[in-house]
Every structure is written in C-alpha cells, then in structure tokens.
C-alpha cells in the first residue's frame, strides 16, 4: 500500500511540466544566489549598460551578447578618454568588470600577483580548473617564459621547414589553375603544425596528433561559452559533464604522445645521471623537454610523469593555436582587401625576396627576419585594427582587503575584476590617425624614415627608442594585442617569426587574387566569431616548384 502511494506521488511529481518548472526555479534561484555573491563596486564608479538592481542585471545579462562593444565604446568616450574608470556588465556567470583608463595601465600591471591575479582571471575566463583536466597551468607557463625565447634562434630552420611543407601541402603546386580555398581551413592546416614545433617537436608532423589538439581547443572554447551562461554556483555540478569531450580528446592524443614523452623522460634521466652513452646526446628543444628540465631543476620528481606532462601542454595549445590562426586570418583578409592600386602584397613580396636573398642559403636568421620592417608593420597594423576581443588583459582581485585606487579613490573588493580596453585604445584617433583604415606601412614608414637620416639627426636616444619600439613584439599601454607588463604573451617572439615566414613564403610562391570587400566578423559579447566562410583564390607562381 505504502509503495503504491509513493509511486503514485512520484509519477505525479515527474510530469514533464513539473520537471521543467522545478528546473526553471532551480536555475533562477541559482542566478539569484550567484547575483548576491558577486562583488559590489564603489558607488562613485560610473556605470554603462541597462542599469542596476535585479531587473537591470537581467537586462544586462541578456544584452551582454549584442551590446557589450557598444557599452565599451560609450565608456571610452565618456570616461576612459577623461582618465576615469567605469563599470561594464559581463556575461551572466561573471562579475561586472571595472575598465581602467590608459593613464593607469602601469598602476594596474605593476600590482603584485598576490593582490591582482592574471592566473585567476585566466582560470575563471576559461574555467581552467575543469577544462585543463586538473593540471596547474603555471607549470607550463613558467617553463615557456623561461625557455622559449632563448631557444628560438636554434629553432628557426625547423620552423621554416615546417612552414614550407605545411603551405605546400595546403595550397598545392598547380601553376595553371586558380584554386578557391576556405582561408580559415587553410590556416588550420598550417598554423597548428608550425606552432606544435615548439610544443612537441618532431611530433608536430603527426597529423592525427595535431588535429586532436585543434579539437581540444575547439572544445575548450565551446565549453567556456556554455559554462559562462550557467550560474557559477552550478559549475561544480555541470562542468564535469561539459568537459567530458576534453578527457576523451586528451586520451586519444596521449596514445600518440605518451610513448614520446616516456622516452624523453628516460633519456633525460640517463643523461642527468651522467650515463656515458648519453654524453653527446641532446634532447630536442620543445616544451616537453623544457617541462622535464624545469621539473629536474626544481627537484619536482612528481612532475616527471608522462600523463601530467602531456596535460600540461594543453593550456599552451589553447594559448597558441586559435590566437595565431585568427591573427593570420585577419592579416590576410586585411592585406588582400587593401586597395589593389597600392600593391601592398607586392611591396611585402619584394621586401622578403630582397631580405632572403641577403641571407645567402635560403634560410632565415633572426637578423634577416627582424629586417622585415614592412612585413612586421603589416602584421602589427592588422593586430591593431582587427582585434579579436574587446579586451585581452583581465585581472582578478584576490587580496582579502581588495584594492583601492589612489588616483580616483574607488575600491574593488576581493573577487572583483579589472580590465584594459584594447578596442577603444587601438581605434583612438589621438593615438592612431585614421584609426579605422588598414595602413600596412603605418609603423615601417617611421622606422625606414629614421634609418635613412644622416647620423647627426639620430642623436636623440629617446627618439631612437621610440622608433625601435614600433616592432610588432613591443607592447605598450597603447598597443595591447599581446597585453603588456610581466604577463604579456611569452609566445609573441615566436609568433612574429612564424607569421613573417608564413607571409613571406606565401607571397613569394603564390599569386593570390585581391578580395573586393573585407569579410566582417560577428561579435558575441567581447569576442569575435571570425568570417570562417571567407575564401581566397590562389595559384602557385610559375618557376617556384
């Protein structure tokens, strides 16, 4: 009798309508709990968006997807330009952010990590605690900061070979017929292979492995978007399910990479133990080796584990692959849709032919690549104009007491967020005349004009420094695609080499038709969805095969 009553009760409770109502109530109450947990900012800070309170917050969450850029544009004119901070709404699961004016960039970036954290901000944005399968991303980030740039010169020939073979395989050798190719897919055939040269060395030639890393990053971006739409309080329940594809992809890729790492661990251990057989042996320079070297140097034997090392590569694959693909995509779209009368692709082709000719043996050197002023400028200008996120510098307040800004007197409590507005800065006519035009020689003109001056007109050291700082890897408070300060992207020196070699090889070996109109991205919140349908028409130059 009791059993039949309880089963009747259960049946009546489990009607689809009731389940939907319960789920809806649960979600709404989770949003309310989330809302009450979010940090509150000083009332003295001005706001953009649809207003405060519960109704305003709900409108802001919905409006975030379509209105974020408009809010930041408005904030730039009203507040940033007048050296004032302001608050902009965020996605539902995230706290609102305080946008810091350019004049206070140094203040923001010089605060120590124990007060204002880049790590926590990155982890929250990408839900790294769930998505990177339980690894600490500071291990690979630290290793990359320390080892990448110092090993870059030695890696140039291998990177160049990878660039050439990946481009040949993607664009083909037909010198007669024009091929119409999807540019996004073409770049996905090139950039991940080349990028993986510094991550996994020779294994970058294993297509199945490289494809798995691209799938991992795709899953990461997708999951991040999904989780951003859930109240944070539900993440511990929802996230383990959302990130199941990450585990699956990692397991698949580990079948390929696991034996490579096991062997490297074995060989490096024998070398470190002074085994005579290994005296002349040197490990391949790549992140796998740098992680092992770092763990050996720190005496962190627990980190000398193949599974952990392979998981530690994942945050770097994320930081490196799509950022570079989008940047290359923007660069080619900007360049090919520039006015054909200016013949900019031809100008860059001529420059790289001249510079490579001076190298003698057909291989780039660091000096040769750094002499590509115009190519460097064309990339820097595209990164200025065609940014892929409204902001790329976010910091989270982790100090218990919060932070107080002395210049304006406002306070942000623990858990609050601060950001630098890249979009407004990059399009400010006071910093960049005609800011919405793609002017590929914007920076090289100044550098070249300076070089041609007689010696006596180059005696001002400040001016010399200012000119030198126009190269694409130099960050500043007015140029933020790689962010700025001590957490500025450590991969940017590699990216500069990679993109210059890609562009030089493409332009020297292929004809590409101009594009009549620059395909536009779609914005969702503060990031773009690139125009991934864009196509280019391309044909191998005669006499280059």
Question: How far out from the chain centre does Cα 473 lie?
Answer: 14
Question: Considering the complex, what minimum distance in angstroms separates the CB of residue 502 from ligand HEM?
Answer: 12
Does position 118 bind ligand HEM by CB under 6 A? yes
Place of tokens 């609050």: 416
Give the residue with the Cβ less far from ligand HEM, 243 or 489. 489
Give the residue with the Cβ less far from ligand HEM, 34 or 421. 421
Neighbours of 172 (CB within 10 A): 16
H or E element in which residue 98 lies: strand 97-100
Give the residue with the Cβ less far from ligand HEM, 199 or 467. 199
Does position 316 bind ligand HEM by CB under 6 A? yes
Does position 85 bind ligand HEM by CB under 6 A? no
Q: Is 489 annotated as a binding residue?
A: yes
* Sign of the Cα pseudo-torsion (469, 470, 476, 481, in order): negative
Does position 126 bind ligand HEM by CB under 6 A? no
Give the residue with the Cβ less far from ligand HEM, 440 or 481. 481
Residues numbered 243 to 262 that lie near ligand HEM (CB under 6 A) are none
Question: Considering the complex, what minimum distance in angstroms separates the CB of residue 349 from ligand HEM?
Answer: 22
Task: Report yes or no: 404 and 115 within 8 Å, Cβ to Cβ.
Answer: no
Question: How far out from the chain centre does Cα 372 lie?
Answer: 24
Q: How far apart are CA 82 and CA 78, in angstroms?
A: 7
Q: How far apart are CA 507 and CA 503, in angstroms?
A: 6
Does position 393 bind ligand HEM by CB under 6 A? yes
60, 195, 310, 475: which one contacts ligand HEM (CB under 6 A)? 195
Task: Report yes or no: 333 and 183 within 8 Å, Cβ to Cβ.
Answer: yes
Place of tokens 């990946």: 166
Nearest residue relative to ligand HEM (C-beta): 491
DSSP 3-state assignment of 506? Answer: helix
Does position 198 bind ligand HEM by CB under 6 A? yes
Give the residue with the Cβ less far from ligand HEM, 67 or 487. 487
294, 327, 390, 425: which one contacts ligand HEM (CB under 6 A)? 327
Q: Is 304 left (phi over 0), alpha (psi -120 to 50) or beta?
A: beta
Does position 375 bind ligand HEM by CB under 6 A? no
Q: How far apart are CA 45 and CA 412, in angstroms?
A: 10
Question: How far out from the chain centre does Cα 191 lie?
Answer: 13
Report which DSSP code applies to 424.
Answer: H
Strands (E), 217-373: none
Residues numbered 481 to 510 that lie near ligand HEM (CB under 6 A) are 481-483, 487-491, 494-495
The count of chain residues that interact with ligand HEM, using the rule CB under 6 A, is 23
98, 100, 116, 141: which one contacts ligand HEM (CB under 6 A)? 141
Q: How far apart are CA 401 and CA 414, in angstroms?
A: 7
Task: Report yes or no: 339 and 439 within 8 Å, Cβ to Cβ.
Answer: no
Give the residue with the Cβ less far from ligand HEM, 319 or 356. 319
Question: Considering the complex, what minimum distance in angstroms separates the CB of residue 121 from ligand HEM?
Answer: 7
Question: Considering the complex, what minimum distance in angstroms separates the CB of residue 78 from ligand HEM?
Answer: 25
DSSP 3-state assignment of 419? Answer: strand
Q: Which stretch binds ligand HEM (CB under 6 A): 44-52, 182-190, 446-454, 476-484?
A: 476-484
What are the b/e assignments for 391-414, b being 16+ CB within 10 Å? bbbbbbbbeeebbebeeeebbbbe
Does position 323 bind ligand HEM by CB under 6 A? yes
Question: Considering the complex, what minimum distance in angstroms separates the CB of residue 476 from ligand HEM?
Answer: 13
Residue 497: closest CA among 507, 505, 486, 487: 505
Binding pattern to ligand HEM, positions 430-459, x when CB under 6 A?
------------------------------
60, 105, 324, 386: which one contacts ligand HEM (CB under 6 A)? 324
Q: Which stretch binds ligand HEM (CB under 6 A): 21-29, 55-63, 252-260, 313-321?
A: 313-321
Q: Which residues are annotated as a binding site for heme?
A: 489
Q: Which residues are annotated as a binding site?
A: 489
Chain residues binding ligand HEM by CB under 6 A are 118, 141, 144, 195, 198, 316, 319-320, 323-324, 327, 392-393, 481-483, 487-491, 494-495
């Amino acid at each position: 009798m009791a059993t039949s009553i309880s089963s009747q009760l259960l049946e009546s409770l489990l009607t689809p309508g009731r389940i939907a109502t319960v789920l809806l109530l649960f979600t709404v109450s989770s949003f309310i709990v989330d809302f009450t947990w979010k940090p509150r900012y000083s009332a003295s800070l001005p706001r953009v968006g649809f207003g405060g309170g519960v109704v305003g917050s709900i409108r802001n969450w919905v409006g975030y997807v379509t209105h974020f850029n408009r809010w930041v544009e408005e904030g730039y004119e009203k507040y940033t330009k007048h050296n004032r901070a302001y608050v902009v709404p965020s996605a539902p699961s995230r706290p609102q952010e305080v946008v810091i004016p350019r004049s206070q960039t140094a203040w923001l970036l010089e605060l120590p990590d124990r007060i204002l954290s880049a790590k926590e901000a990155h982890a929250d944005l990408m839900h790294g605690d769930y998505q990177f399968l339980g690894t600490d991303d500071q291990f690979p980030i630290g290793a990359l900061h320390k080892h990448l740039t110092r090993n870059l010169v030695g890696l140039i020939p291998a990177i160049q070979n990878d660039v050439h073979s990946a481009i040949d395989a993607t664009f083909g050798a037909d010198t007669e017929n024009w091929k119409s190719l999807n540019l996004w897919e073409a770049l996905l055939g090139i950039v991940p292979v080349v990028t993986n040269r510094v991550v996994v060395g020779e294994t970058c030639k294993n297509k199945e492995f490289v494809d798995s890393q691209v799938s991992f990053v795709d899953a990461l971006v997708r999951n991040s978007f999904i989780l951003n739409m859930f109240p944070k309080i539900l993440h511990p329940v929802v996230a383990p399910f959302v990130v199941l594809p990450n585990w699956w992809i990692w397991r698949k890729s580990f079948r390929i990479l696991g034996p490579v790492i096991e062997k490297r661990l074995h060989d490096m251990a024998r070398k470190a133990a002074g085994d005579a057989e290994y005296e002349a042996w040197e490990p391949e320079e790549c992140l796998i080796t740098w992680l092992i070297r770092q763990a050996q140097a720190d005496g962190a034997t627990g980190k000398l584990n193949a599974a952990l090392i392979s998981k530690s590569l994942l945050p770097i694959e994320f930081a490196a692959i799509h950022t570079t693909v989008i940047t290359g995509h923007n660069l080619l779209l900007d360049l090919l849709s520039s006015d054909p009368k200016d013949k900019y692709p031809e100008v860059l082709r001529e420059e790289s032919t001249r510079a490579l000719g001076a190298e003698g043996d057909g291989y780039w050197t660091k000096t040769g690549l750094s002499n590509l002023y115009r190519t460097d400028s064309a990339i820097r200008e595209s990164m200025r104009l065609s940014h892929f996120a409204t902001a790329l510098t976010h910091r989270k307040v982790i100090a218990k007491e919060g932070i107080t800004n002395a210049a304006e007197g406002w306070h942000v409590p623990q858990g609050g967020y601060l950001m630098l507005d890249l979009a407004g800065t990059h399009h400010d006519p006071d910093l960049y005349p005609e800011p919405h035009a793609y002017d590929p020689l914007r920076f090289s003109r100044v550098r070249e004009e300076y070089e041609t001056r007689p010696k006596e007109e180059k005696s001002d050291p400040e001016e010399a420094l200012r000119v030198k700082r126009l190269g694409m890897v130099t960050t500043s408070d007015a140029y933020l695609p790689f962010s700025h300060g001590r957490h500025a992207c450590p991969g940017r020196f590699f990216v500069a080499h990679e993109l210059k070699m890609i562009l030089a090889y493409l332009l020297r070996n292929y004809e590409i038709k101009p594009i009549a109109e620059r395909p536009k991205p779609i914005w969702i919140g503060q990031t773009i969805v690139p125009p991934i349908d864009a196509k280019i028409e391309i044909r191998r130059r005669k006499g280059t095969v």
